[in-house]
Amino acid sequence: MTNILILADHEAGKVAKTAAELATFAKRGGSPLAVLLAPAGQADALGSQLANTEIEKVLAVESDDFARHGIAAMVDALAQIIESQKPSAVLIASSARGKEIAGRLAVRINSGVITDAIDLAADLGATQSVFGGSFTVSSRVKTGIPVITLRPSAIEPAATSQTPAIEKVSITISEKAKLVTISNTQPAVKGGRPELTEAKIVISGGRGTNGDFTQVEAMADLLGAAVGASRAATDAGWYPHTHQVGQTGKTVSPQLYVACGISGAIQHRAGMQTSKTIIAINKDPEAPIFDLADFGVVGDLFAVLPQAREAIASKRS
């Protein structure tokens, strides 16, 4: 059986849930072999979190060079592991860092690269949703060892009862991979809300909020949802740029997307139109967002949202 390498992401001592997702994809085409690029002394603590997934074995490299020199050091280690393991593909989670690692790695190992796949077949054919979800594309790497990044939450990870063996690999990071020095790292402040791209429900606000996101946030908290924003809202400084949904922001594809006071310009639609159910609340009956909406309310979000919240709460009680 051929090995498929997955890069297991971690942050602040916790392994990301994308590791189990990548393993589930990898299992379709081979044996999932996880690479863990861990800070010194943390391989076991991180590796033990990979139990109960499809991961069959963990190759752990312990080095503080990853935190100190970043992506170039990670690529250097991965390339050395690929050289010795000769996997049939490399799977990485789609994130700013994941895609950059994939790009550099593909150049290094002379292989083709596919980013932001939403599905992967046993024969390594990838499915991508492009141009804001207006097209579904099947693509394939035809040269080298395919390097493929997969969007978070694209698959429900399979649960197992296995505990993969952790093998520590000693690797020397080359000097060429140490050009950048990272002097300070501030992890993103995670509120109680889920990550935008991973959330099952997203509540977004736009120009119609006039800068007041309290109703949007209250609805999000009631439903355990993430908060998104249109470019108009982030450009106006009403909500952090990291929450922008759209062409130049995040692409989301949740079970439920609620657009509040968002007109639905193509820029915004590009980031959310593959959502399963779309709700729109807008004062303007002509707003293009209504063309996408499964359920649209022509009205003031400051009246509709509190009433909906109350009604949902009373249905639950």
Partner 1 sequence: MKIAICVKQVPDSWAEKKMVNGALDRESVDAVLNDLDEYAIEEALRIVEPLNEGKETPEHTITLISMGPDRATEAIRKGLSMGADSGVLVTDASLAGSDAIATSRVLAEVISKGGFDLVFCGTESTDARMSVIPAMLAERLGWAQLTFAGSVKVDAAASKVEIARMTESGVETMSANFPCVISVIEKINEPRYPSFKGIMAAKKKVIENKSLADLGISSSDVGSVGAWSIVADAQARPPRDKGIKIEDSGDGGSKLADYLAEKRLV
Q: Report the C-alpha gap between 240 and 253 in whole angstroms.
A: 20
- Using an 8 Å Cβ cutoff, are 181 and 73 in contact? no
Taking residues 23 to 42 in sequence order and writing x for each that binds partner 1 by CB under 8 A, - otherwise, the string is --------------------
Name the nearest CA neighbour of 158 among 5, 88, 55: 55
Among 1, 84, 123, 135, binds partner 1 (CB under 8 A): 135
Among 42, 80, 85, 95, binds partner 1 (CB under 8 A): 95
Structural element, H or E, at residue 270: none
Which residues, numbered 222-241, are part of the site for partner 1 (CB under 8 A)? 223, 241
- Using an 8 Å Cβ cutoff, are 301 and 207 in contact? no
Cross-strand pairs, 113: 147
Taking residues 160 to 179 in sequence order and writing x for each that binds partner 1 by CB under 8 A, - otherwise, the string is ----------------x--x
Taking residues 266 to 305 in sequence order and writing x for each that binds partner 1 by CB under 8 A, - otherwise, the string is xx--x--xx--xxx-x---x----xxxxxxxxxxx--xxx
Taking residues 107 to 126 in sequence order and writing x for each that binds partner 1 by CB under 8 A, - otherwise, the string is xx--xxxxxx--------x-
**The one segment of 21-29, 32-40, 155-163, 259-267 that binds partner 1 by CB under 8 A:** 259-267
CA distances from 32 to 6, 88, 245, 309 (A): 7, 11, 32, 44
Q: What angle do CA 299, 302, 304 make, to 5 degrees?
A: 50
Taking residues 36 to 75 in sequence order and writing x for each that binds partner 1 by CB under 8 A, - otherwise, the string is ----------------------------------xxx--x
Among 17, 28, 97, 168, binds partner 1 (CB under 8 A): 97
* Least distance in angstroms from the C-beta of 75 to partner 1: 7
**The one segment of 33-41, 57-65, 83-91, 184-192 that binds partner 1 by CB under 8 A:** 184-192
Q: Report the C-alpha gap between 85 and 101 in whole angstroms.
A: 18
Name the residue nearer to partner 1 (CB basis): 195 or 212: 195
* Least distance in angstroms from the C-beta of 248 to partner 1: 6
* Least distance in angstroms from the C-beta of 18 to partner 1: 12
* Least distance in angstroms from the C-beta of 66 to partner 1: 12
Which residue reads 């080095």 in tokens? Answer: 63
Give 148's contacts (C-beta < 8 A, 6+ positions apart): 89, 90, 91, 92, 102, 113, 114, 115, 117, 120, 124, 126, 141
Helix (H, G, I), strand (E, B) or coil at 228: strand
